[in-house]
Structure 1
């Protein structure tokens, strides 16, 4: 059964201003205003008209709920949207997962190169070898900075969000 929320005024539910409602129910504006706040009753005829209006709105709400259910059915635009969104989601997941793996691989490789350059510093006999190690250190530091742990965490966060969205879309498509 359709029940009006306590804190919702009857005018809000009906979508009609007080003056208009008083005219439709053929009652004085003051009587309708007092009825709307719960301080006065309505004549039997006006009360009957109001009940018919509320019953009509209740039926409209039920019909709208049926329409929403039908709009979500197989082959509907809503289902097509969910299917398309699921495909986009899976493509994004693949892209982000690939970016994350590349980022991790570059980071790990550069860290290893930096460690090795640090290990070899001071062990080289030629000045040009020491200069080459400095070049390697700078290059690997730049790679580490571009593929830092914060960037990896961002990729992981995006991937988790996409997986949660995937679960939600699959639930919607299965009708749960």
Structure 2
């Protein structure tokens, strides 16, 4: 083994942690890495075992399989969350359309009552005009903008679902 190589970095840990594991001082590790000092035999045995673990391809395969399984589970969870979000958006769109239809129906009825019914008393006309104004305000509350936002969100979620499915297929 080359002494110039930074062993603690190769093992993915700090010199302090490596020293704790090998039961030596941090300065001993530092001096060993630059080639100015050797380590006790028991520390060298532990170090050689640790290095062999890193080079063991079987462990790498197990690690890759574990990562792959974690990725697959994550993607499945994301797909499930995405489908749930799509259902929520669909429900919001349906509710908004239903609300718009109800508002439009109320507008038509009020308009009919105001224009077609002869001899309405003034107090009833005032009530109908008030209801008509409230109904028009409801329509003017950016329902079209909200509907557009929901439709865009639905399309984005559908695109995200396709990406997640593609990624999930590539993981399998």
Match of 1:97 among 60, 76, 90: 90
CA distance in 2, matches of 1:33, 1:170: 49
1:68-127 deviations in whole A, cap 9, x for unaligned?
A: 44x379xxx939x82x7645643542442242244146447747949x96xx89xx9853
Contact 2:11 2:54 in 1 (8 A): no
Name the one with the larger helix percent: 2
Unmatched 5+ residue regions in structure 2? none
Unmatched 5+ residue regions in structure 1? none
CA distance in 1, matches of 2:155, 2:9: 40
Q: TM-score, normalised by structure 2?
A: 0.54
CA distance in 2, matches of 1:85, 1:104: 28
* 67 and 58 in structure 1: CA distance in 2 versus 1, 3 angstrom threshold: farther
Q: TM-score, normalised by structure 1?
A: 0.53
Give the match for residue 139 of structure 1.
Answer: 135
Give the number of the structure with larger relative contact order, counting CA–CA contacts within 8 Å between residues 6 or more apart: 2
Give the match for residue 56 of structure 1.
Answer: 53
* 167 and 41 in structure 1: CA distance in 2 versus 1, 3 angstrom threshold: farther
Q: Aligned pairs, how many?
A: 155
Verify: 1:33 aligned to 2:26, yes or no: no
RMSD between aligned residues: 4.9
Verify: 1:166 aligned to 2:166, yes or no: no
Verify: 1:155 aligned to 2:147, yes or no: no
* 175 and 10 in structure 1: CA distance in 2 versus 1, 3 angstrom threshold: closer
5 Å matches for 1:65-144? 65-69=64-68, 71=69, 78=73, 82=76, 86=79, 89-90=82-83, 92-104=85-97, 106-107=99-100, 110=103, 113=107, 127=122, 128-129=124-125, 131-142=127-138, 144=140
